[in-house]
């Protein structure tokens, strides 16, 4: 979707969006159009019992007294609640209302009602961000679409005071949305198109943004002793890959903010990239197995995040590491009861081959530490079904060995509307993964399944400030939200970009 900003003014033709606050109070541009239509807009709002509630709309078609095709009146709700997320939702609501069977170009007059603390230019930038987020659509494999279902909205012309300021504010947001869109596209791709080799090549494209990308193949990983990752991959016809992405945008200035972690190393992000998870020999039930194409959601978030940081030229040294495998049953597949030796030298008894993501991350986490000496490390994975039982499909599970890092992640999530909830860890949970024949086993039973998975990962981290985000419940949406259409969500890209901006980025 093309976004442009221009000086305010009421258009003479086409489709225009105007706004109303709490109680249905019309903003100035809406009042102007109401006058031109001899009160038709206010009468339509009254007939629809429109009270200006957040996200509510009223449409007036071919309004008399104007040359317009349509007026869309958008409710903003209480002015005191109009923060950046509310304005993003407003953009999403407009995009959803006009995306199909509407005009190709829409003019939106952004005005901050009395009581709104956000300047119109900043509001307009976040409105545009929300519209772009909601405008995502994955339809590349659809060869036939009914006209009623085809998207028509191609451009938003946002009319606002100080359009130059709006354009400047929107520019970095736009790059972050690019990262979200990239992640959504990746998790939407089928596994016959996206597998370890092809996903690694997708990551290579970040070199165009100035990211240094390195791809390790099976031979490289065998030399490094990555027995856990290779054990997961051995049942597939597709060989594994491990990809590193290095963005160094640090200037000479230094941030004065307190940062979780010590030293001058980069902040690191590690992602699970199981491009399809059949469960291996411990095979999953057939129902819903098609969803396992997005078991590489953690890796997709890391790729999208690195694209966002590089795209907006973030003043930070950040690295991304992703372990890419396909978990399949075959004559060469890993068996329950096998023992593997990880890159760290620790041994793991594989009780369940469907608990494979933690094995991939074990070696990826160790490689990240040995190679980059990071100051802090955050991993993301669609790791456990247990987290969905515990937190549902709206909140990610957060586990950490560092209170400052956990707090920073929670606050970043609140700022961008991607909620995380910290769960406990401890010695009692750690005992559940004790093995009789190896250093540990890869599952700890049905109870506290997400926690014991985190305890497993913690054994490969040491004293480094570390956090684990279990995003199994939030990677795919089953219903539309204002800025998140049904399908791949891209959850985590905006959260971690906000973390970097708030905590690690040089100012």
Helix (H, G, I), strand (E, B) or coil at 334: coil
Beta strands 241-248; 105-109: pairing state: unpaired
Instruction: Give the span between the Cα atoms of 128 and 130, in whole angstroms.
Output: 5
Structure confidence at residue 257 as a pLDDT band (50, 70, 90): low
- In DSSP notation, 292-354 reads GGGTTHHHHHHHHHHHHHHHTT-SSEEEEEEEEEEE--STTS--TT-EEE-TTS-EEE-S-TT
Say which of 214, 284, 422, 481 is annotated catalytic: 284
Q: Of 358, 375, 494, 498, which one is the catalytic site residue?
A: 358
| DSSP-based three-state secondary structure for 265 | coil
Closest CA to 495 of 88, 118, 171, 176: 176
The reported pLDDT for the residue numbered 479 is 96
Q: Who contacts 168 (Cβ-Cβ below 8 Å, separation ≥6)? A: none
Local confidence band at 198 (pLDDT 50, 70, 90 cut-offs) = very high
For 323, the 3-state DSSP assignment is strand
Helix (H, G, I), strand (E, B) or coil at 78: coil
pLDDT given for residue 429 in this prediction? 97
Say if residues 163 and 7 touch (Cβ distance below 8 Å): yes
Q: State pLDDT tens for residues 417-438.
A: 999 999 999 999 999 999 999 9
How many Å apart are CA 188 and CA 476, to the nearest integer? 9
DSSP characters over 442-487: S---STTHHHHHHHHHHTTTTTS-EEEEE-TTTSEESS-BTTB-SE
Residue 256 has pLDDT above 50, yes or no: no
Whole-prediction pTM value? Answer: 0.96
Q: Which residue has the tokens 């199909």?
A: 100
> Both tokens of residue 331?
């004559």
As its CATH architecture, domain 175-504 has 3-Layer(aba) Sandwich (3.40)
Secondary structure class of 275 (helix, strand, coil): strand
pLDDT digits (tens, 9 = 90+) for 16-72: 999 999 999 999 999 999 999 999 999 999 999 999 999 999 999 999 999 999 999
- 233 secondary structure, DSSP code: H
What is the rounded CA–CA span in Å between residue 398 and residue 469? Answer: 5
Residues 38/66, Cβ–Cβ less than 8 Å: no
Active site annotation includes 284: yes
Q: How far apart are CA 489 and CA 226, in angstroms?
A: 31
Q: Based on the number of CB atoms within 10 Å of its own CB, is 388 exposed (0-12), middle (13-18) or buried (19 or more)?
A: middle
Contact 127, 135 (CB under 8 A): no
Beta-strand relationship, 241-248 and 317-327: antiparallel
Q: What is the dihedral of CA 286, 291, 292, 294, to 10 degrees?
A: 180
Question: Which residues have C-beta within 8 Å of that of residue 414, sequence separation ≥ 6?
Answer: none
Q: What is the pLDDT of residues 361-379, one digit of tens each?
A: 999 999 999 999 999 999 9
Phi and psi at 275, nearest 5°, equal: -70, -25
Structure-block tokens of residue 253? 């200035």
| Range 2-162 classified under CATH 3.40.220.10 | yes
CA distance 149 to 137: 12
Residue corresponding to tokens 């339809």: 139
**Pairwise CA distance, residues 291 & 328, whole Å:** 15
Task: Identify which of 200, 225, 179 has the alpha carbon closest to the alpha carbon of residue 325.
Answer: 200
Q: Which two tokens stand for residue 300?
A: 């997709």
Using alpha carbons, select from 134, 28, 46, 44 the residue that is nearest to residue 90.
Answer: 134
- Residue 503 above 90 pLDDT? yes
- pLDDT tens per residue across span 110-163: 998 888 999 999 999 999 999 999 999 999 999 887 767 788 999 999 999 999
Among this protein's residues, is 358 annotated catalytic? yes
Residue ranges of domains in the chain: 2-162, 175-504
């Amino acid at each position: 979707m093309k976004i442009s900003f221009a000086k305010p003014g009421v258009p003479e033709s086409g489709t225009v969006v105007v706004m109303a606050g709490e109680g249905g109070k019309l903003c100035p541009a809406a009042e102007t159009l109401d006058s031109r239509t001899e009160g038709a807009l206010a009468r339509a709002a009254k007939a629809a019992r429109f009270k200006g509630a957040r996200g509510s709309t009223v449409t007036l078609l071919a309004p008399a007294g104007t040359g317009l095709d349509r007026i869309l009146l958008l409710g903003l709700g209480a002015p005191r609640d109009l923060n950046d997320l509310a304005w993003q939702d407003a953009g999403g609501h407009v995009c959803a209302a006009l995306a199909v069977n509407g005009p190709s170009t829409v003019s939106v007059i952004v005005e901050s009602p009395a009581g709104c603390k956000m300047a119109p230019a900043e509001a307009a930038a976040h409105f545009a961000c929300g519209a772009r987020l909601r405008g995502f659509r994955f339809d590349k494999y659809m060869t036939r679409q009914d006209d009623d279902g085809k998207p028509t909205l191609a451009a938003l012309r946002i009319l606002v005071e100080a359009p130059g300021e709006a354009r400047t504010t929107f520019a970095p947001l736009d790059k972050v949305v690019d990262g979200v869109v990239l992640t959504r596209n990746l998790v939407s791709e089928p596994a016959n198109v996206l597998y370890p080799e092809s996903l690694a090549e997708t990551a290579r494209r970040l070199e165009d943004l100035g990211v240094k990308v390195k791809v390790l193949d099976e031979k490289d990983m065998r030399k490094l002793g990555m027995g856990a990752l290779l054990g997961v991959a051995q049942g597939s016809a597709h060989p594994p890959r491990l990809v590193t992405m290095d963005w160094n945008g640090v200037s000479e200035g230094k941030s004065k903010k307190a940062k979780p972690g010590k030293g001058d190393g980069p902040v690191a992000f590690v992602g699970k990239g199981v491009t399809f998870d059949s469960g291996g020999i411990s095979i999953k039930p057939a129902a819903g197995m098609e969803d396992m194409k997005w078991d590489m959601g953690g890796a997709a978030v890391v790729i999208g995040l690195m694209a966002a940081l590089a795209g907006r030229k973030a003043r930070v040294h950040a690295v991304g590491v992703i372990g890419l495998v396909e978990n399949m049953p075959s004559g060469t597949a890993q068996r329950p009861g096998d023992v593997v030796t990880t890159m760290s030298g620790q041994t793991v008894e594989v009780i369940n081959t469907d608990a494979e993501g933690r094995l991939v991350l074990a070696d990826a986490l160790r490689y990240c530490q040995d190679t980059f000496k990071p100051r802090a490390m955050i991993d993301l994975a669609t790791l456990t079904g247990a987290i969905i039982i515990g937190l549902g499909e709206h909140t990610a599970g957060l586990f950490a060995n560092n209170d400052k890092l956990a707090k920073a992640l929670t606050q970043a999530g609140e700022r961008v509307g991607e909620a995380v909830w910290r769960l406990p860890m401890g010695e009692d949970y750690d005992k559940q993964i004790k093995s009789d024949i190896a250093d540990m086993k890869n599952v700890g039973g049905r109870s506290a399944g997400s926690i014991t998975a985190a305890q497993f990962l913690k054994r490969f981290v040491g004293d480094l400030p570390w956090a684990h985000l279990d995003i199994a419940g939030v990677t795919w949406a089953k219903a539309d939200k204002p800025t998140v259409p049904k399908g791949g969500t891209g959850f985590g890209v905006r959260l971690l970009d906000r973390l970097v901006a708030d905590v690690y980025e040089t100012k």
